[in-house]
């Protein structure tokens, strides 16, 4: 699958959508890592929220923080390049959805009398739901913009329907006028293109690629073969015809 090697090669709309997706994934990643580091470094401060205590409770909270860090190992790739690592972005969204579903299942399965534990799980549910909506919206917007924007090829934008139609008309006119010249074709297509008359247009006028040098050499050689130079016999014959009037003048004198 062909994917852009550099975000700078993409159109402006796609770059902006990519930065929006980066910001969404980065925000969720930063909060997750902060929460995981707090659980690992200060487990005793959070153990009462999960209704655990002592050494087993601290170990359980630290284990939860380590699991958080493992969960967030996929985020940096998406933050670096959400288009290149689209599959990883989908995995992140699936992880977030699984976490939200599991937390909801735990919360609604708790019996009454566990207010602190219920409140802790509800906070996780709210954060994971908000993060899932934010990341899914930003990533979905990026994919939609990428699909709706013509892809770039060799740093030049592929023309849209507004630039292809004038090119076809110019080709048709050139063929019927009997002179299919590349320069004439480009000029006709350029001046018939609305993008050429609008400085605010996002698309540049389309110019067909010039013929390779070897193709031009072949065309010239074919023309030379179709119109061979005069042979030595023809040259001698023309010299004789040119000399006859001089001989007649000498005989008359």
Q: What's residue 78's pLDDT?
A: 96
pLDDT digits (tens, 9 = 90+) for 218-241: 555 565 555 555 555 555 556 666
Helix (H, G, I), strand (E, B) or coil at 180: coil
Token reading at 233: 């016999």
When pLDDT is averaged across residues 178-184 and rounded to a whole number, the result is 56
Rounded to whole angstroms, how far apart are CA atoms 107 and 101?
10
| Residue 139, pLDDT above cutoff 90 | yes
Average predicted confidence (pLDDT) for the chain: 76
Q: What's residue 149's pLDDT?
A: 81
When pLDDT is averaged across residues 142-162 and rounded to a whole number, the result is 67
What DSSP element (H or E) covers 152? strand 152-153
Q: What's residue 203's pLDDT?
A: 46
Please provide residue 10's backbone torsions phi and psi, each rounded to the nearest 5 degrees.
-90, 160
- pLDDT band of 102, cuts 50, 70, 90: very high
Helix (H, G, I), strand (E, B) or coil at 251: helix
- pLDDT band of 112, cuts 50, 70, 90: confident
What DSSP element (H or E) covers 228? none
| Residue 242, pLDDT above cutoff 80 | no
Rounded to whole angstroms, how far apart are CA atoms 141 and 113?
43
Rounded to whole angstroms, how far apart are CA atoms 180 and 163?
19
Rounded to whole angstroms, how far apart are CA atoms 13 and 148?
10
């Amino acid at each position: 699958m062909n994917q852009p090697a550099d975000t700078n090669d993409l159109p402006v709309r796609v770059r902006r959508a990519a930065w929006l997706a980066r910001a969404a994934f980065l925000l969720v990643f930063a909060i997750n890592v902060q929460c995981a580091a707090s659980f690992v470094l200060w487990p005793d401060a959070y153990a009462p929220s999960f209704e655990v205590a002592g050494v087993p409770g601290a170990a359980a909270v630290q284990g939860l923080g380590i699991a958080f860090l493992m969960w967030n190992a996929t985020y940096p790739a998406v933050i670096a390049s959400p288009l290149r690592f689209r599959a990883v972005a989908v995995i992140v969204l699936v992880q977030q959805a699984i976490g939200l579903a599991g937390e909801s299942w735990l919360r609604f399965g708790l019996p009454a009398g566990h207010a602190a534990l219920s409140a802790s799980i509800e906070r996780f549910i709210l954060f994971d739901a908000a993060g899932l909506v934010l990341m899914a919206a930003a990533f979905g917007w990026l994919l939609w913009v990428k699909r709706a924007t013509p892809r770039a090829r060799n740093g030049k934008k592929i023309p849209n329907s507004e630039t292809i139609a004038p090119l076809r008309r110019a080709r048709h006119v050139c063929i019927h006028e009997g002179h299919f010249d590349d320069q004439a074709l480009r000029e006709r297509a350029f001046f018939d293109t609305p993008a050429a008359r609008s400085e605010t247009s996002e698309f540049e006028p389309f110019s067909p690629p010039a013929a390779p040098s070897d193709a031009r050499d072949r065309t010239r050689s074919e023309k030379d073969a179709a119109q061979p130079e005069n042979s030595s016999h023809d040259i001698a014959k023309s010299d004789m015809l040119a000399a006859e009037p001089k001989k007649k003048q000498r005989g008359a004198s």
